């Protein structure tokens, strides 16, 4: 177990190192750069050259990379040039992370709590109306672009009915104590229930919109996986042995069917981060996705570098955790 | 069977939880909880950068700074006319190379520091004495454009010195004539509290990595004399909060708080206004103006103190060196149609490079008419009947003078193709090669514009030097034009200045034509029906102290 962990962590570090080099080179191959973003409509060649020299952008790319890595080991990631000028990129990441975690977690919670039971249900009613109906619903979930769904949800619930706020994370005038930066959790932790309630109301629509894609994927995988397991010999044997329906489903079918589902959930967490770019924009949630989009528009090298690296780190760690959970779900898997 | 029923129940409960939370709360104040009269909530497009106006050149930062800070003079709301602010009187000496200001008495910065002659000169000296990377136009763009160099630099500076004459009187000496009072109306030259600037190291801008680190003063403690004072910038919620300055020297603000909510998505801004969770927002999409009005909202239009032009650069297209070719392109461009079909309501086709509100605007100048036949003739005469040209336009951007670059590009391309020109489109992201390519002279014809920060008439940043993005050095008239621009900008006599400006504008159009002026474009704010006292500024710097609700 320990050896396995160490091996995985070494793999992780290698992946991050390679990614950091690729990302660094790739960002600088993009046309334009922070200098033109900083100088705007009016800039002369001289201004440009001076500014590039001041920022060290005139040096060879490997020197820039080594300097960047050197600063990172001193805990300095460098200031943002576009997303929030003057603030350290890591500070921006840490400020933006809670909003994205909160939103993604809630979206995943909605997706999982609906998709697994429904997937199971569809599989056990294979070919019937309910099965086909659920498949159609999940297809619609994948097919509707998030921004369109967002528009409709906002129009209906916020503008027309006026029961939910159209965007943002909190209402003007309702500002709670910040503990984790996740407004809903903070409200609960500090017992400021109005704050928690307000945050929850702001989260409902974006979380629903963001949940559609993982919901559809997890639903389909659950259904397929349950169907497959139901056909397995050991299920037939167990049934023949006279196991009760409950024991059969709980211990033999569901547990075995969940393994690919857990993998999918792990992979979908990555997809959530990219889905968050759109969702956060249309619902104006100031999370990582929005910062990433803004960083790209303003060619904010430092922030892009840090955000992408950290997103990759999270992704890798999540998948490591997913792999570890196999051991708990499936007694046949032994790590080591 | 029981297990299945359990699963169905779980599913049903889970899906209902989300719906129930919507339904349980009926017709409370919609969505948010803002009390009118107390708070004015404005939906901005982007996040502010720094609150120290001397270090900002973007509209989002400056709009916020304009509530907190005041300059010596200001423009009458909604116009480009000067009026007193922190200075009550001003006069010119020594042919406009020295300006004396009588300062307002009894004014305090919001940290309690008194505003007096010493504080005013402290600010002017501070600007001139910027050190290190703060001298880069990437940090101090306004000063670089208006004043040139800093203390100790080879680059000449317009600023010479500031002298305290008595407690409330200062004189500013310049190295040459300039319309200094007009510059002193710009928010970039607003007065900050010397105490706060010293306490929070206002001048400590350092380069680190590929960016700048700004001091606490610029990020957290901007301190001015304005009708509002800075409270906080909450990045996680995307809000900037200001509160009323209770000791303001003038008419106190009618609302107690101003909150800027940063909402980058246009549709979302509109939905927020419709849901009643914001009171006004910036830059509604021009196609929405009518439906906003139909819904009982106000669309407040700002006159366009800007220009959209087609820039030329003959570096890669020598044909453009021929005056007849440039003229032909002007005749071939149907600007009236472009303005009517592709631009926001209220757009004016340009007759010259400065907007109608500018003091030097020449009202007698006639626009080039749309005349495709004449264009063809001129091209044939110049020996380029089948001219082929690259036309550049930016993507990933919407500028005040060009809300939809592609639409402008298409209209111009269609016009030019009608006279037999082959147009090769080049589309590049604004920060991803467009501005760079243009600055490096790679774009023979390109769509761009300019925004003036205060009510001046200068085209100095375009043609005042020959080594510019238009490469006027390639034309025989480059130096002549630069000299004429400088002579015009240096004219201190108001009557003569007007005359020279008129002549300059006429010459640019009829004698030189270095590029093609297209249009002056208004931008707008949308506001709820009950918002009053929000007066649009041609420069986008509305002051919210006059805002109230009905």
Domains, chain A:
2-74 (no CATH), 90-167+210-335 (1.10.3720.10)
d(CA B525, CA B531): 12
pLDDT in tens, A284-300: 999 998 898 888 887 88
What ipTM does the predicted assembly reach?
A: 0.83
Residue numbers in A near B138 (CB within 8 A): 35, 38-39, 47, 51, 54
pLDDT of the residue at B528: 95
- Does the pLDDT value for residue B448 go beyond 60? yes
- Does the pLDDT value for residue B14 go beyond 70? no
For chain A, give the percent of residues with pLDDT over 70: 94
Q: What is the mean pLDDT of residues A242-253?
A: 75
**Residue with more model confidence, B491 or B423:** B423
Q: Which residues contact A23 (CB under 8 A, 6 or more apart)?
A: A304, A305, A308, A309
- Does the pLDDT value for residue B29 go beyond 60? no
DSSP letter assigned to residue B231: E
The minimum CA-CA distance between A246 and chain B, rounded to whole Å, is 7
pLDDT in tens, A64-114: 888 888 888 887 888 888 888 888 889 899 999 999 999 999 999 999 999
pLDDT in tens, B452-468: 888 787 877 788 777 77
- The pLDDT-based confidence of A250 (bands split at 50, 70, 90) is confident
- Does the pLDDT value for residue B394 go beyond 60? yes
Tell me which residue in A77, A170, A282 faces B237 most closely, judged by beta carbons.
A170
pLDDT of the residue at B217: 96
- Closest-CA residue of B relative to A64 is B209
Lowest mean pLDDT among A63-67, A282-286, B24-28, B401-405: B24-28
Q: CB contacts < 8 Å between A and B, how many?
A: 254
Best mutation target, B31, B273, B453, to test chain A (most A CBs within 10 A) = B31
Strand B306-312 relative to strand B348-349, pairing:
unpaired
Global confidence as pTM: 0.85
pLDDT of the residue at B66: 95
Tell me which residue in A78, A98, A178 faces B209 most closely, judged by beta carbons.
A78
Q: Are B271 and A284 in contact (CB under 8 A)?
A: no
Q: Which domains does chain B have, with CATH numbers?
A: 39-299+524-549 (3.40.190.10), 306-521 (3.10.105.10)
The minimum CA-CA distance between B84 and chain A, rounded to whole Å, is 30
Residue numbers in A near B435 (CB within 8 A): 32, 36, 39-41, 43
Query: DSSP per residue over A215-276, as a string?
Result: HHHHHHHHHHHHHHHHTSHHHHHHHHHT--HHHIIIIIIIHHHHHHHHHHHHHHHHHHHHHH
Strand order in the sheet with B306-312: B348-349, B516-520, B306-312, B445-451, B388-395, B422-429
- Closest-CA residue of B relative to A158 is B275
d(CA A280, CA A242): 52
Q: How many helices (H) and strands (E) does chain B have?
A: 17, 23
d(CA A289, CA A294): 9
pLDDT of the residue at A267: 81
**Is the CB of residue B402 less than 8 Å away from at least one CB of chain A?**
no
User: What are the Cα distances from residue B156, in Å, to A268, B139, B163, B174, B239?
Assistant: 59, 18, 20, 11, 41
pLDDT of the residue at B25: 36
Q: What is the mean pLDDT of residues B278-297?
A: 92
d(CA A236, CA A242): 10
Q: Are A323 and A333 in contact (CB under 8 A)?
A: no
pLDDT in tens, A14-23: 988 898 888 8
Q: Are B85 and B74 in contact (CB under 8 A)?
A: yes
d(CA B365, CA B359): 14
**Is the CB of residue B234 less than 8 Å away from at least one CB of chain A?**
yes
Tell me which residue in A36, A151, A171 faces B431 most closely, judged by beta carbons.
A36
d(CA B163, CA B177): 18
pLDDT of the residue at B13: 42
């Amino acid at each position: 177990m320990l050896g396995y962990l160490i091996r995985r962590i070494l793999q992780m570090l290698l992946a991050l190192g390679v990614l950091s080099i690729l990302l660094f080179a790739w960002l600088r191959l993009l046309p334009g750069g922070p200098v033109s973003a900083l100088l705007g409509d009016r800039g002369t060649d001289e201004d440009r050259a001076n500014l590039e020299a001041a920022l060290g952008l005139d040096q060879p790319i490997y020197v820039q990379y080594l300097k960047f890595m050197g600063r990172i080991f001193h805990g300095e990631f460098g200031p943002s040039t576009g997303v929030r000028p003057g603030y350290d990129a890591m500070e921006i990441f840490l400020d933006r992370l809670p909003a994205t975690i909160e939103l993604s977690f809630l979206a995943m919670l909605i997706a999982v709590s609906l998709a697994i039971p429904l997937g199971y249900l569809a599989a056990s009613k294979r070919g019937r109306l309910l099965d086909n109906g659920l498949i159609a619903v999940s297809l619609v979930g994948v097919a509707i672009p998030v921004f369109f769904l967002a528009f409709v949800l906002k129009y209906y619930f916020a503008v027309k009915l006026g029961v939910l706020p159209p965007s943002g994370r909190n209402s003007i005038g309702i500002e709670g104590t910040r503990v984790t930066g996740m407004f809903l959790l903070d409200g609960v932790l500090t017992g400021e229930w109005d704050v928690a309630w307000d945050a929850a109301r702001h989260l409902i629509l974006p979380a629903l919109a963001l949940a559609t894609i993982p919901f559809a994927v997890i639903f389909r995988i659950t259904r397929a996986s349950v169907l497959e397991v139901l056909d397995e010999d050991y299920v037939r044997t167990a049934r023949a042995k006279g196991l009760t329906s409950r024991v059969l489903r709980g211990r033999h079918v569901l547990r075995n069917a969940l393994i690919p589902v857990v993998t999918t959930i792990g992979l979908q967490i990555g997809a959530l981060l990219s889905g968050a770019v759109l969702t956060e924009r249309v619902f104006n949630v100031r999370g990582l996705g929005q910062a990433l989009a803004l960083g790209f528009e303003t060619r904010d090298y430092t922030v892009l570098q840090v955000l992408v690296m950290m997103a990759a780190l999270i992704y890798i760690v999540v998948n490591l955790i997913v792999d570890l959970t196999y051991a708990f779900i499936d007694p046949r898997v032994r790590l080591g | 069977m029981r297990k299945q029923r359990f699963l169905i129940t779980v599913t049903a409960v889970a899906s209902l939880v989300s719906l129930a939370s919507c339904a349980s709360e009926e017709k409370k104040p919609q969505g948010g909880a803002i009390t009118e009269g107390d708070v004015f909530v404005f939906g901005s497009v982007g996040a502010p950068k720094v609150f120290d106006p001397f270090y900002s050149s973007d509209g989002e930062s400056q709009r916020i700074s304009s509530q907190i800070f005041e300059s010596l003079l200001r423009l009458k709301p909604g116009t480009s006319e000067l009026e007193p602010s922190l200075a009550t009187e001003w006069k010119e000496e020594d042919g406009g190379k020295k300006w004396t200001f009588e300062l307002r008495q009894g004014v305090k910065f919001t940290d309690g520091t008194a505003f007096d002659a010493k504080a005013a000169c402290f600010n002017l000296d501070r600007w001139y004495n910027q050190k290190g990377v703060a001298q880069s136009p990437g940090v101090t763009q306004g000063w670089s454009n208006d004043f040139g160099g800093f203390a100790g630099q080879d680059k000449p500076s317009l600023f010479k010195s500031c002298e305290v004459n008595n407690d409330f009187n200062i004189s500013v000496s310049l190295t040459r004539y300039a319309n200094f009072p007009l510059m002193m109306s710009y928010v970039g030259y607003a007065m900050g509290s010397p105490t706060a600037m010293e306490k929070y190291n206002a001048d400590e801008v350092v380069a680190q990595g590929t960016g700048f680190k700004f001091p606490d003063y610029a990020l957290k403690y901007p301190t001015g004399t304005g009708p509002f004072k800075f409270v906080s910038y909450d990045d996680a919620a995307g809000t900037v909060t200001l509160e009323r300055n209770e000791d303001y020297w003038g008419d106190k603000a009618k609302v107690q708080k101003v909150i800027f909510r940063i909402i980058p998505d246009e549709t979302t801004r509109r939905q927020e206004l419709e849901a009643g969770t914001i009171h006004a927002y910036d830059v509604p999409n021009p196609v929405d103006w009518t439906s906003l009005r139909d819904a009982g909202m106000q669309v407040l239009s700002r006159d366009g103190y800007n220009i959209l032009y087609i820039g030329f650069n003959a570096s890669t297209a020598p044909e453009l060196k021929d005056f007849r070719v440039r003229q032909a392109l002007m005749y071939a461009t149907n600007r009236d149609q472009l303005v009517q079909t592709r631009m926001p309501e209220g757009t004016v086709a340009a007759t010259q490079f400065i907007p109608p509100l500018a003091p030097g605007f020449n009202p007698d100048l006639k626009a080039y008419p749309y005349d495709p036949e004449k264009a063809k003739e001129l091209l044939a005469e110049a020996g380029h009947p089948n001219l082929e040209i690259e036309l550049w336009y930016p993507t990933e951007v919407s500028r005040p003078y060009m809300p939809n670059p592609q639409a402008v590009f298409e209209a111009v391309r269609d016009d030019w193709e009608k006279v037999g020109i082959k147009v090769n489109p080049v589309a590049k992201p604004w920060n991803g090669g467009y501005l760079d390519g243009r600055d490096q002279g790679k774009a023979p014809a390109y769509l761009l514009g300019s925004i003036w920060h205060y009510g001046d008439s200068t085209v100095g940043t375009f043609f005042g030097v020959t080594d510019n993005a238009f490469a006027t050095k390639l034309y025989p008239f480059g130096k002549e034009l630069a000299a004429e621009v400088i002579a015009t900008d240096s004219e201190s006599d108001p009557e003569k200045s007007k005359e020279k400006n008129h002549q300059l504008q006429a010459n640019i159009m009829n004698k030189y034509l270095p590029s093609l002026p297209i249009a002056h474009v208004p931008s707008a704010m949308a506001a709820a029906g009950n918002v009053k006292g929000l007066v649009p500024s041609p420069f986008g710097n509305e002051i919210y102290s006059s805002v109230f609700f009905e």
